[in-house]
Structure 1
Amino acid sequence: MVEARKNSFKSLQRPRQFQKWIFNTYMKLDKIFTSDIKNLIAAGIVAAVLIFFVALMTGANDDERSISAQGTSALRESSDLVTMTIGIETQALNARDAEQNNKEISEKLYSSLQILGLDSTEYKTESYTIYPNKDWARSGKITDYTVIHTIRIETDKIERAGEILDSVSSAGANSIYGVSFGLKEETRQKAQAEALKQATSLARQKAEAMASGLGKSLGRVKTVSDSTVDYYPYIERSYAGTLDGVGEDSAITTEPGTVEVTASVSVVYGIR
């Protein structure tokens, strides 16, 4: 305590020393430069002194002891988005026929989706490939052509996921590359914000417990950071394979389930 008072007294004397130094410097400049130049130089010196004092005062706070804590929270939200990747594969002796057959199935598939209430913003072509098939036993002679049209469907009509799969199968789709359930962006952001609040509250509780164990109390927040891993998994089993054998008499069932949203926060507190 005595040492702190001495330092405080010394800091009070420093402004007087700087004032004297500034006055002496200004008087020397008066003999060398014009008034405009002198004023600019003097203003620069005053600014430098002010910066020095600000650094001096804030530097004292850097010596404050601190304690750090981390909080992690996990929430579960009901899925409200389903994503499917469907494939239409056709073959023909020539490329034109293979493309035409694929186009006819694609148009039929789109119509079936519209009947179920999906609009064109909920499905799109993800990839379209055409290639020749060769018989390498006969020096790579082309035997026929294959066209693969991959379609991505993403909709919030998750209650109709099974119907969508049945419908695209009946329309002629013969491959399914995956079905997954997740959250719409606005739902994910809302859940993420709530998880961050809970994680921050947990971090404070931990910090208070540690400070109490040391016979201290928490001071100001020094730093806070979001250390959440930016990864958002789609939960629920994925389906993959062919749709061969699935027809109008078949009924594909799906269970959307829930998605886990996590948040992790690191906070550094001063202690007193």
Structure 2
Amino acid sequence: MLRALILASALILPAAPALAQDDEPGRLSLSATGEVHITPDMATVQSGVVTEARSAVEALNANSVAMNRVFAALEDAGIARQDIQTSNLQINPVWSNYSDGAERRITGYQATNTVTARVDELGSLGATIDALVSSGANQIQGVTFGVDDDSAARRQARLNAVAELQDIAELYAGALGIELGGLLEFSESGGFRPQPMANFARLESMDSATPVAAGQLTISVTINGVYAIAD
């Protein structure tokens, strides 16, 4: 009897409203990207010294002597102390190669010290790199270009993205023969700034007046919008 009541109750339960989704307006989801190209006005240089010696102490001492010359060269190039930062300091063992089945052993130690320096005068960037190498830096890991303040360019990129989104929405509406309603959703999925980088291998010497081209940076912002499709 109890089972019969349960079954009967199940039979008289109202069905879920199948037309609930039909009441919602159609949607057109789109994305657009706005870009602005600007000229860099600063750069960061990563340089340092790699030294090897029989002991860790000897490797570090030799590295410290060379790095003091690197710091002096940066200061002579007009780089302020607050714009110089140690970005990597390591001491690692140097191992022998496998030979005739013999076990590997430590044959010495390698000390690495890398600093990152901000260069505001791009016209002196090549001379600064030359000065670093001449002072004893035997490793230039890269030169990255940037801008001190990209807020105005990023604002313009956002405006360009909105204009592009509206153009795309009108284009699709005309092509599909539909009428757009209001904007239901809007979001910014993020922006990025590809930074041109000049890479250098480990260096023993470098010709004077090293040419470095800053090129241009791209400020990019991507937005997403969902439009209602009018009945």
TM-score tier after normalising by the smaller chain length: 0.7 to 0.9
Kindly tell me the number of residue pairs found equivalent between the two proteins. 208
Q: Does 1:178 align with 2:136?
A: no
Deviations 1:99-124 (A, max 9, x none): 22211211111111112221122221
- Higher helix content, 1 or 2: 1
* 2:130 alignment partner, SS class: helix
What is the aligned partner in structure 2 of residue 265 from structure 1?
223
1:244/1:218 Cα in 2 relative to 1: closer, same or farther (>3 Å)?
same
* 1:83 alignment partner, SS class: strand
1:255/1:214 Cα in 2 relative to 1: closer, same or farther (>3 Å)?
closer
Matches within 5 A, 1:1-272: 63-135=24-96, 142-184=106-148, 186-187=149-150, 189-212=151-174, 217-228=179-190, 230-236=191-197, 238-246=198-206, 250-272=208-230
Contact 1:182 1:233 survives alignment (8 Å): no
Mapped to 1, the partners of 2:104 and 2:183 lie a distance apart of 71
Deviations 1:57-106 (A, max 9, x none): xx9xx634443433222221111231222120123333333222211211
1:91/1:67 Cα in 2 relative to 1: closer, same or farther (>3 Å)?
closer
Contact 2:154 2:219 survives alignment (8 Å): yes
Deviations 1:208-230 (A, max 9, x none): 344355666543221112234x4
Mapped to 1, the partners of 2:95 and 2:160 lie a distance apart of 60
1:252/1:266 Cα in 2 relative to 1: closer, same or farther (>3 Å)?
same
Deviations 1:191-217 (A, max 9, x none): 222112111112112223443556665
Residue 157 of structure 2 aligns with an amino acid whose one-letter code is A
Mapped to 1, the partners of 2:218 and 2:126 lie a distance apart of 23
Shift of 1:154: 3.0
Mapped to 2, the partners of 1:215 and 1:206 lie a distance apart of 14
Larger relative contact order (CA 8 Å, sep ≥ 6): 2
- Higher strand content, 1 or 2: 2
1:94/1:265 Cα in 2 relative to 1: closer, same or farther (>3 Å)?
closer
1:139/1:218 Cα in 2 relative to 1: closer, same or farther (>3 Å)?
closer
Percentage identity across paired residues of the two chains: 25
Q: With the length of structure 1 as denominator, give the TM-score of the two structures.
A: 0.65
Contact 2:192 2:219 survives alignment (8 Å): no
Mapped to 2, the partners of 1:95 and 1:209 lie a distance apart of 67
Mapped to 1, the partners of 2:93 and 2:27 lie a distance apart of 68
Mapped to 2, the partners of 1:133 and 1:215 lie a distance apart of 71
Mapped to 1, the partners of 2:186 and 2:83 lie a distance apart of 39
Contact 1:163 1:252 survives alignment (8 Å): yes
Mapped to 2, the partners of 1:258 and 1:209 lie a distance apart of 31
Residue 153 of structure 2 aligns with an amino acid whose one-letter code is A
